[in-house]
Structures are given as C-alpha cells and as structure tokens.
A and B are shown apart, each in its own frame.
Chain A
Amino acid sequence: MLVDTIGDFDIIPDSMPAEGDVSLTVRPIDLIAYWRRCGIMADFAAAFYACAHDQPNVEENTISTIFNELIENATKYSVKRNAEVMIHMMLYDTVLKIEIVNHTPEAHFHKLKKHLTKLTKSADLDELYIRTMAEKSENATDSGIGLLLLIKDYKLKIGAQFKKCEQTGDCKVIIQTYYYIEQ
C-alpha cells in the first residue's frame, strides 16, 4: 500500500472522543440520479449541529456550504457509481471535523493530490483564485475552486491521505476538514 499524507491530516485523531459524532454512508449513484440530494444532505448536517444551544454561533449556512462542496466532489469523482462514500462528522468543543472517504479513478487520484498539494502550500490564495478564473475563462469544463474557496474564504484547515493498493490498483482518498466555530 502506497500512502501519501498532505496538509493538516489527523490534527484531531479519531480516537479522541467527540461531543457529536455522526456517520453517513451514501452511494454516488443516488446523488448523481437526484443531484438535489447533495444539498439536502448538506442542509441536514448543518441543521443537526446548528440547533445545539451551547453552540449559538454555529453558522448553519457555513456548515451546509462546506458539507455540500465536499459531498459534491466525492460524488463526481468516485470510481464506481455504486461505490460507497463515507462521511464522518465530529464536533470537538469549537471545532467541527468532517471526514469524507471515497475511491477515485487513478487519473483523478493523482490530479487531486497535485491540486491539494498546491492549495496547502500556496502563499497567496487570492492570487491563485484570480489565476484559476483567468484559466477557466479560456476553457471551463469544471469549477475547480471548491476546495480553494473553503480554505481561502472559510479558513478551513484541510488534510488528505491518498492510499493506493499496488495489487488491486484501488485508489482511496480520505479528506479531512476542520472548521473552527467563531466565538
């Protein structure tokens, strides 16, 4: 198994008990067939955490936006439409950790690894956004700014682990985001 770890991965390990702990498993085919379900899941996740009375500043619109970008990406780039996407949300006091696990085609596996490396090492994300949009104005087949906006505008910490099984060729991606709830 070849393993590459990028960015802020496991800054809060799963072994630490969370105050809120929700796991969901979904098949991409169910989301591709009815795309609105991505938004419905995102709104559910946001409402679930926003109703906590001891966390009055949990911003529902923010959590929904973060979740939606992550689930849309995982859905679009899963290796098989009937493969599983696993989502794990954990609340630690004022930090919401969202972990998404999926299996991607090998070409996307390498592309995403390169993209996330660029994002996590970039010194000027505004400049990267402007440059990306200039490139898209020539040929926009995909958006390509979802993760960039989450890091740049939402101050999310993000990390990822890329696992490739040499025997089977299976490419597994684990993405973790950490949203710090404003106090």
Chain B
Amino acid sequence: MDTLNAGDAIITYNESESKMVFEGSMRLANMKEYDVVSSFLRKSIDDTDDPVVLDLRLLQFLNSSGITTLSLFILSCKKAGKPQIKVLGSESISWQQKSISNFKKLWNDVEIVI
C-alpha cells in the first residue's frame, strides 16, 4: 500500500484492488500544491490496465483546485484510453452529492456510484 499525506487528507492506494481511498479534508492552496497529488495518482496507476476505483466516500471536503486536479486526472485517462475509472461517493456529503457527477461529464466511460 502506498500512502500520501495531502494537507488534512490521506490518500491510500491499494494496488491489489486497484483502489485509491481518500480520507479527511483536502483543501490545498493552489494547483501547484496539488502537483504532488497528481503525481501520486499518475504513478500509482501507471502500469495498470485494470479499472481503478477512486473511493471518495470518506473525503469530507475537496476545494475547487482539488476538483480540478481530479478532473484533469480523468481527462488524462480518457486521453490514454485507460484505465477505466469508477468513482465511489457518499450521498450524505453534500459536495459529493452536488459535484461528483461532473466527472462523468468529462468522460462518459466513468462510472459513478453514489
């Protein structure tokens, strides 16, 4: 398992399940600060052809720079044609309820489960 501390959030990648779990509150200051998150996401899935799960259910907050970072990650997967992305969200966390469906608007192959 690989982990990354990003502000008040922890991201854990479980390679055997191809699952990225986000926990806490991720409100970094700008896109430059999110570079470390982008690199972690890219590095983790670099060699995989398996579908990847982004589990956001324990992520209480994600600011607009964070949403941009995940959006750009999804666009880069779309451009590469892999891996397929499944996003798990929580109905009880309002930012997820309101904004998580945006990812599917970027790439129709993204599966959203909320």
Contacts and interface: CB of A to CB of B under 8 A. Distances in A.
**Which 5 pairs from chain A and chain B are nearest by CB?**
A146-B64, A153-B98, A61-B94, A143-B65, A143-B68
Given A129-B105, A133-B68, A140-B68, A65 B95 contact: yes
A129 B68 CA distance: 10
B99 A153 contact: yes
Interface of B is mostly: helix
Contacts of A126: 105
B61 A64 contact: yes
Interface of A: 32, 35-36, 38-39, 59, 61-62, 64-65, 68-69, 72, 76, 126, 129-130, 133-134, 136-137, 140-146, 149, 153-154
The CB with the most chain A CB atoms within 10 A, among B61, B63, B72, is that of B63
Interface in B6-27: 7-8, 25, 27
B44 interface: no
Interface of A is mostly: helix
B60 interface: yes
7 contacts: A35-B27, A35-B28, A62-B94, A69-B64, A76-B29, A137-B79, A143-B30
A140 B106 contact: no
Interface in B74-114: 75-76, 79, 93-95, 98-99, 102, 105-106
Contact of B99 (A39, A72, A149): A149
B59 to A, nearest CB: 11
Contact of B27 (A38, A133, A136): A38
Contact of A69 (B7, B8, B31, B63): B63
Interface string B47-64: 000000000000011011
B76 A137 contact: yes
A65 B94 contact: yes
Given A61-B60, A61-B95, A145 B105 contact: no
A38 B105 CA distance: 29
